[in-house]
Chain A
Amino acid sequence: MNSEVVNIQAQPKSRFNHIKRTVYKERQLWLLSIPMIIWVFIFSYLPMYGIIIAFMKYIPGRNMFKSQWVGFQHFQTFFHSPDFWHILRNTLAISGLGIVFGFTAPIILALLLNELRLKVFKRVVQTISYLPHFISWVVVASILFAILGNEGFMNDMLMRLGIIDKPIAFLGEGKYFWGLLTATNVWKDVGWSTIIYLSAIAGVDSELYDAGKVDGLGRFGMVWHIILPSIRPTIAVLFILGIGGILNAGFEQQLLIGNSQTREYHEVIDTYAYKYGIQLGNYSYATAIGLLKSVISLVLVLGANRISKKALDTSIL
């Protein structure tokens, strides 16, 4: 009742003073926005400005503005460094494997979970599948050392089954690193990543299922013609994000699981920049590498967004 009265009174007012009222409303919103703008300026845009040291010979502790300009020298150094190709290879291999397995596995798992008839069982599986996500990389590294070590479960089993004669140094040899890291990443996050898909599946209108039933769709048909199209925006958004992050091949994982024997296979752009920047104090060089990575990522995500917009009519920007 009350709101109806308000509505009647508000109507002519909105016609005459529409602009004025909008400004009044937006004054509040801008007041809330300003602290956020300041925050994002300091913590996100100031570091972007700090990128200019990539074109300088910045010496820590000295005034940034008095540093010597060196143009693209650091980039050239990186391209010509003997590490460049294997760093690029490792980065693309690890995140490529991550997209092939880490991106598709949760979708499949979510669809399979959705088909479980016993809801209690489904909940139990879900609960257990999330567990590894809550575990830090420090602990995961510790688990890997224990399971894959010389006396660990894996070697012990393989030896008992007679598949191998002596323990395999899974963590001590570079050639296992990509597979190991991909498997570990999937193990850690497959369950967790299903949440977003399951919630999207849960949001599918039940009338669609009824309509599908009328059209005589079976279980597979329901998945293919109703569930998948319904969760397509979610998949598209996550895929765009995945493409944008293709140069993010992991960081803590490499630092915690990798060791000097696996360096040729675990060193990625981020760990390389960390090593040169923080550990060796070569701030300008490391910043240049970081900048290169950001620029490529931005181009990739814009491209993916464009394709998604055209092909799937879904955009994130």
Chain B
Amino acid sequence: MSSSSIGIKPTLGSRIFDVCNVVFMLAFMVVMLYPFVNLLAISLNDGVDAARGGIYLFPREFSLESYAFLMKNPKLFDGFVISILRVVVGTVTCVFMTGLLAYIVTIRNFSGRKFMRVLFLITMYFGGGLIPTYLLMVQLGLTNTFNVYWIPGLIQAYYMMLMASYMQGLPEALFESARIDGASELKIYIRVVIPISMPVFAAIAVFSSVGHWNSWFDVILYNSSGTWDTLQTYLRKLLLEVEALQQIQDAQAAYSKYRNISSSTLRAAVTMVVTLPIVVVYPFMQKYFVGGMTLGAVKG
């Protein structure tokens, strides 16, 4: 609900503000989008030509050489699959468990409510830190396993807080009547809380999946063997290889093999490969975290 949409008669100042606002938003969109457009153009350009610089919106000499070079690499596909697996497993488990905790700490007459809330909130501000956590993962045997991607992140205190604050706005009578009907707490959570809290669950799912998709440091920290390398780590390694390639570019072998690829085009292509899946998927996710984010549905 915008204050402008309820029929206040627009004054001149109001009109001028509208124009400025729209102009600002247009400039803002350019700033947000341009880096991607620029990189897309570079990635589709011939490598040697791109090294001259000056590519803005469109490729100057069109070439798919960089992408062809990337696709030849089977490790790229492995990294992609592991990343997807991590996002799905990590998100589903995290949202379910964190939501359950949020529900528990919102039940008004639960005597352990404050205890549970504080127990988890403490973890938000006070943790063991990098080293003790790392040593624990080593001792638990979680390093170099897939489990290290989802088990340690099962419950997030910050998400719990966001979900709990949403659930606090829900009418208590809803749960109370379900309880009187004999439904178990877990059943109430699954059947009542999740459906009516869908906006916040979807939003947290997006938060969580983005976190999992973007994760880079925990992969290099806990998966030093490289067995479970995600797309991010793979691409980072490739970027470093590109740097190395640039340094040996004069060498005959490298020059003949990657003749039409320069470090800048390959880097741009890599960036596009990891960005494109997100661009494709996220307009679909958007309706969950923006469209449904009103409390109106609950009030009805």
A residues neighboring B (CB under 8 Å): 3, 6-7, 10, 22, 25-26, 28-30, 32-33, 36-37, 39-40, 42-51, 53, 109, 112-117, 121, 123-139, 141-143, 145-147, 149-153, 155-156, 187, 191, 195-196, 198-199, 201-204, 206, 209-210, 212-213, 218-219, 222-223, 226-227, 237, 241, 244, 251-252, 255-256, 270, 273-274, 277-278, 283, 286-287, 290-291, 293-295, 297-298, 301, 316-317
26 pairs, A vs B, C-beta closer than 8 Å: A6-B180, A22-B109, A22-B111, A25-B179, A47-B129, A115-B17, A117-B4, A125-B28, A135-B278, A142-B39, A142-B235, A146-B268, A152-B53, A195-B289, A198-B293, A202-B1, A204-B1, A212-B3, A227-B3, A241-B158, A255-B217, A274-B130, A277-B130, A277-B134, A316-B121, A316-B161
Min CB distance A256 to B, Å, is 8
Closest to A53 in B: B132
Tell me whether A149 and B235 are in contact in the complex, defined as CB-CB below 8 angstroms, given that A125-B28, A219-B3, A219-B8 are known contacts.
no
Flag if B282 contacts A195 (CB, 8 Å). Answer: no
- In the bound complex, how far is the Cα of B180 from the Cα of A7, in angstroms? 8
Flag if A187 contacts B32 (CB, 8 Å). Answer: yes
Flag if B130 contacts A278 (CB, 8 Å). Answer: yes
Contact of B274 among A49, A136, A191, A297 (CB under 8 A): A136
Q: Mark B24-45, 1 if CB is under 8 A from A, else 0.
A: 1100110111111011001000
- Residues in B neighbouring A43, C-beta threshold 8 A: 133, 136, 151-152, 154
Closest to A126 in B: B290
- In the bound complex, how far is the Cα of B75 from the Cα of A164, in angstroms? 42
Check B86 for interface membership: any CB of A closer than 8 A.
Answer: no
Min CB distance B222 to A, Å, is 11
Check B251 for interface membership: any CB of A closer than 8 A.
Answer: no
Flag if B132 contacts A47 (CB, 8 Å). Answer: yes
Flag if A209 contacts B1 (CB, 8 Å). Answer: yes
Tell me whether A291 and B38 are in contact in the complex, defined as CB-CB below 8 angstroms, given that A115-B21, A126-B290, A202-B293 are known contacts.
no
Check B54 for interface membership: any CB of A closer than 8 A.
Answer: yes
Flag if B25 contacts A47 (CB, 8 Å). Answer: no
Closest to A135 in B: B275
Min CB distance A213 to B, Å, is 7
Contact of B185 among A32, A121, A155 (CB under 8 A): A32
Other A-B pairs beyond A146-B268, A195-B290, 14, CB < 8 Å = A44-B128, A50-B135, A121-B22, A129-B28, A138-B274, A142-B239, A143-B36, A151-B51, A204-B1, A210-B6, A252-B216, A290-B128, A294-B125, A295-B126
- Residues in B neighbouring A301, C-beta threshold 8 A: 125
Contact of B180 among A10, A137, A143 (CB under 8 A): A10
Tell me whether A26 and B32 are in contact in the complex, defined as CB-CB below 8 angstroms, given that A116-B22, A222-B3, A283-B131 are known contacts.
no
- In the bound complex, how far is the Cα of B30 from the Cα of A89, in angstroms? 34
Contact of A147 among B17, B29, B38, B283 (CB under 8 A): B38
Contact of B130 among A116, A286, A298 (CB under 8 A): A286
Flag if A48 contacts B136 (CB, 8 Å). Answer: no
Check B196 for interface membership: any CB of A closer than 8 A.
Answer: no
Contact of B35 among A128, A143, A294 (CB under 8 A): A143
Min CB distance A9 to B, Å, is 9
- Residues in A neighbouring B28, C-beta threshold 8 A: 109, 125, 129
Flag if A294 contacts B232 (CB, 8 Å). Answer: no
Tell me whether A131 and B279 are in contact in the complex, defined as CB-CB below 8 angstroms, given that A125-B28, A138-B216, A290-B131 are known contacts.
yes
Tell me whether A121 and B25 are in contact in the complex, defined as CB-CB below 8 angstroms, given that A39-B154, A227-B3 are known contacts.
yes
Contact of A199 among B152, B210, B294 (CB under 8 A): B294
Flag if B136 contacts A134 (CB, 8 Å). Answer: no
Flag if A278 contacts B21 (CB, 8 Å). Answer: no
B residues neighboring A (CB under 8 Å): 1-6, 8, 11, 14, 17-18, 21-22, 24-25, 28-29, 31-36, 38-39, 42, 51-54, 56, 97, 100-101, 104, 107, 109-112, 116, 118-136, 140, 151-152, 154-155, 158, 161-162, 165, 177, 179-181, 184-186, 199, 203, 210, 213-217, 221, 232, 235-236, 239, 264, 267-268, 270-271, 274-275, 278-279, 282-283, 286, 289-290, 293-295
Flag if A219 contacts B111 (CB, 8 Å). Answer: no
- In the bound complex, how far is the Cα of B123 from the Cα of A223, in angstroms? 36
Closest to B185 in A: A28
Min CB distance B200 to A, Å, is 9
Closest to B273 in A: A139
Flag if A142 contacts B294 (CB, 8 Å). Answer: no
- In the bound complex, how far is the Cα of B128 from the Cα of A39, in angstroms? 14
Tell me whether A138 and B232 are in contact in the complex, defined as CB-CB below 8 angstroms, given that A128-B33, A146-B42, A187-B31 are known contacts.
yes
Flag if A213 contacts B214 (CB, 8 Å). Answer: no
Min CB distance A240 to B, Å, is 10
- Residues in A neighbouring B11, C-beta threshold 8 A: 218
- Residues in A neighbouring B214, C-beta threshold 8 A: 134-137
Flag if A48 contacts B126 (CB, 8 Å). Answer: yes
- Residues in B neighbouring A156, C-beta threshold 8 A: 53-54
- In the bound complex, how far is the Cα of B56 from the Cα of A203, in angstroms? 42
